[in-house]
Chains A and B, each alone.
Chain A
């Protein structure tokens, strides 16, 4: 992680115990405080639930994604409404919707996490560098960001996917390579504020190197913002990927929730088979809302109390 810069590792006594590293400490503190709030608890539990599904979903699913269910008479069970055997019914072509829901958690979680990670990596690299270094570097990086702001996401994604080939990973990359723009902008402005604060100047005046200042002072102080953008990035990737799936430019054989909705719609029976389209829709909606709310409350809680000078009594 952001432990230290290699050159300086020779003076690294005390940080060997990673559990005591301040970044981890801060994260733990914020998490602890967050879980005190009941609503945040609900969002967090839901996200943990989706992640767990992503891990074990395919194993606990009663049927395989490609198992077509036949009734006792050997006929395919097409569009069967929910029943005890099939809690969410079956699809037009006889897949078990419940199993597909369980299996679909994994690609959804993967796209969210991967998308979020790429977004925040690019966003914080660009934003923090631009904000801290300033001058020409900042100009170039921020104009680049503006340029990306001019890109209409969905049409561009369709074009790019057509270019690189329809695929699950491709769709995530295309989304992430556009969506980092928001975090870059906000992180830059955060850094602009922080770098003028006196503890940064004091550190500079002591002779601390720029990379070290960025890693030790700047990054930890924008980390809560970064966590928020990561969470929002996760949400956005999931929902936009679902949109792209719906438009049919995502690999239809990766059984994500978005693809399920697309298939339900494409069957022409979406009005009849509500059990096919509504559950993945709800899961996507809940997941996305949970990531947004989780990000916001992390930012609110861990950003708030720390640097609020007015709260502290002098003396």
Chain B
């Protein structure tokens, strides 16, 4: 792996479901697909952590499951250390699964109630044929600060508090010494007093172990403690990509603005205005090619029926919004043709990500 090669690279990744139910496989029937993930391009570099933020139904869970290798993408490509995963052999997948681990949101569901901590930690070791089980388990429990390990290793999930369960989940993810951690809202179900300790633990572990993290959440206020860069997702598409602090301070895309303006502020002296956005997000079916946010957008224009390009707004933020580029110079009709001809209509975005990632 070269210095500049991302560990994980998503290129126009696409996952459509032709049935409402997420379980059904694609059958090629003539049904309008649910565009759960629609041409998402993200690079994840070593020791970098990237956030994907969005409301329920924005496709972040589908994206995560695609990254876990549970769903096969219906378009685009996912590269792992430069290798396209669509051409992976069984052995390569097994290697991928060893190196890409997940931490789930819900501490009540993410541990098998019939398994002790030992059983839970041992399973990945057995599946990947590693030795020194006891030593590894003790070490990893110490790393997640379940001390002393002896006190925890024979407990069942119901004998652990929410925060302790989440630490066990983290331990399970770390025990194979992975390169990438996929984190699915790992603190959103925890009490506030515990949240901070888990966030601190995660960011320390990342640093110590040089991990990369893909952090998925609906909660923008905790994400700043983990992520360097944020992708804001809406109905299957990434609408903005910016450094975390930048997006909190100066969101560019109208949807990002709405999302950030709606976060309650724990300060009675601060007079925040309530959201002006009406209605709820639709299902990502038959929405046409235009901007997905156009029907709720306060800045709605005629041109929004055309798919917006990714543009570099100010050298830091990249947004997919017609507000940020000059349509005089680029003929919108040509824009559509370009998209039809090549699936690489977001190339400008890809290049720009590379830049942002290097910073």
Interface residues of chain A, those whose CB is within 8 Å of chain B, are 8, 10-14, 22, 26, 134-135, 197-199, 201-209, 212, 216-217, 220-221, 305-309, 311-315
Contact = CB atoms under 8 A, between A and B. Distances in A.
B114 interface: yes
Contacts of B102: 201-202, 205
A26 B114 contact: yes
B142 interface: no
B104 A202 contact: yes
A201 B122 contact: no
Interface in B258-300: none
B49 interface: no
**Most chain-B CB neighbours within 10 Å: which of A206, A220, A307, A313?**
A206
A198 B116 contact: no
Given A306-B114, A306-B158, A315-B161, A201 B191 contact: no
B123 A216 contact: yes
Given A198-B104, A202-B102, 8 more contacts: A22-B116, A26-B114, A134-B23, A198-B110, A201-B70, A306-B113, A307-B113, A315-B191
Given A199-B109, A208-B127, A314 B69 contact: no
B189 to A, nearest CB: 7
Contact of B68 (A201, A220, A311): A201
Given A202-B104, A216-B123, A315 B162 contact: yes
A104 B68 CA distance: 58
Interface in B90-118: 93-94, 97-98, 100-102, 104-116, 118
B133 interface: yes
Contact of A11 (B107, B129, B176, B191): B129
A196 B150 CA distance: 31
B163 A206 contact: no
A217 B93 CA distance: 22
Contacts of A204: 68, 70
A217 B189 contact: no
Given A207-B93, A305-B158, A315-B163, A202 B172 contact: yes
Nearest to A8: B126
A206 B158 contact: no
Contacts of A312: 108, 158, 161-162
Given A134-B23, A135-B25, A205-B97, A217 B112 contact: yes
Contacts of B100: 205
A8 B133 CA distance: 15
Contact of A22 (B97, B108, B109, B119): B119
B91 to A, nearest CB: 10
A268 B97 CA distance: 73
Nearest to B104: A198
Given A22-B116, A305-B158, A312-B161, A197 B176 contact: no
A201 B104 CA distance: 9
A215 to B, nearest CB: 12
Given A221-B113, A306-B113, A314 B158 contact: no
B163 A207 contact: no
B110 A314 contact: no
A32 B105 CA distance: 33
Nearest to A11: B126
B124 A206 contact: yes
B176 A205 contact: no
B174 to A, nearest CB: 12
A206 B193 contact: no
21 contacts: A11-B129, A197-B109, A198-B104, A198-B109, A199-B109, A199-B111, A199-B112, A202-B172, A203-B112, A204-B70, A205-B97, A205-B100, A205-B102, A206-B101, A207-B97, A207-B98, A208-B124, A216-B123, A221-B113, A312-B158, A315-B161
Interface string B113-151: 111101110111111110001000000000000000000
A106 B91 CA distance: 54
Pairs A-B, 3 closest by C-beta atoms = A314-B162, A309-B108, A207-B97
Contacts of B172: 202
B190 interface: yes
Contacts of B133: 13-14
Question: Which of A11, A202, A209 has the most C-beta atoms of chain B within 10 angstroms of its own C-beta?
Answer: A202
A221 B104 contact: no
B295 to A, nearest CB: 31
B127 A206 contact: yes
A202 B101 CA distance: 8
A216 B123 CA distance: 9
B194 interface: yes
B123 A206 contact: yes
B176 A206 contact: yes
Nearest to B98: A207
Given A202-B104, A313-B162, A315-B162, A208 B70 contact: no
Contacts of A314: 107, 161-163, 189-191, 194
Contacts of B111: 199
Given A314-B162, A315-B191, A205 B70 contact: yes
Interface string B56-80: 0000000001001110000000000
Q: Which of B108, B119, B162 has the most CB of A within 10 A?
A: B108
A28 to B, nearest CB: 13
Contacts of A201: 65, 68, 70, 102, 104
A163 to B, nearest CB: 41
A307 B107 CA distance: 11
Nearest to B65: A201
A12 B16 CA distance: 41
Given A14-B122, A198-B106, A22 B114 contact: yes
